[in-house]
Amino acid sequence: MSNNELQKIFDNTVQLSYKEKIKEIEDYFISIADGENIMGNGKEIIYPDHLWKYKHSFAEGIYIREMQMKKGQLGFSAIHKHSYGFFLLSGILASSKEDGVEEFIAPCYIISPQGAKRIVYAIEDCVIVTVHANPTNTEDLDELAKLNVVFSWKEYEEYIKNKK
């Protein structure tokens, strides 16, 4: 993929809403998943250590995840229940958002909003750190996923409804 491949993918789905674009693109990758180079089923967080390197750290009420992506790799996030800190420590990363694809050049950070689901593409090797709520101080990654993310827009809408 060239550095604008993520933009090309989005341009090819111009008639769809953002949520529909993300779903269509993710469903395509799930359909061609080989378990080695393309992984995931869209219903769980996976940590493919042979593709990305991870470091998980914990502080009172906080979960910090460091990820290392190699140039040319693509990843999908879950839908986040809460806003969270996103830090790009090194590299260049293309990231989808409601109005298109944004390019981040390290070092930089953003606060990713509640309800965000993104596709990211490493234009260069990247080191990414995200900071998430951990109100129970668990170190169980599956439990942290339950606290912080959902995997469908229907689940997210239900979460928002029940939160009120």
pLDDT at 105 over 50: yes
State the CATH number of the domain containing residue 64. 2.60.120.10
Q: Which residue has the higher pLDDT, 138 or 3?
A: 138
Confidence at residue 164, expressed as pLDDT on a 0 to 100 scale? 75
Task: Please count the other Cβ atoms lying within 10 Å of the Cβ belonging to residue 128.
Answer: 23
Q: Kindly state the tokens that stand for 37.
A: 């180079």
d(CA 91, CA 68): 10
Can you count the helices (H) and strands (E) in the chain?
4, 11
Q: Tell whether the model's pLDDT for residue 48 goes beyond 60.
A: yes
Domain count, the chain: 1
Residues in Cβ contact with 116 at an 8 Å cutoff, skipping those fewer than 6 apart: 77, 79, 80, 83, 97
Q: What is the mean pLDDT of the chain?
A: 91
pTM reported for the whole predicted model: 0.87
Q: What does the pLDDT look like over 112-127, one tens digit per residue?
A: 999 999 999 999 999 9
pLDDT at 4 over 70: no
Residue range(s) defining the domain that contains residue 83: 5-163
- pLDDT value of residue 6: 73
Sequence-distant (6+) residues with CB within 8 A of 11 are none
Among the residues of the chain, which ranges form H helices? 5-11, 18-31, 141-148, 153-163
Is a pLDDT exceeding 70 seen at residue 1? no
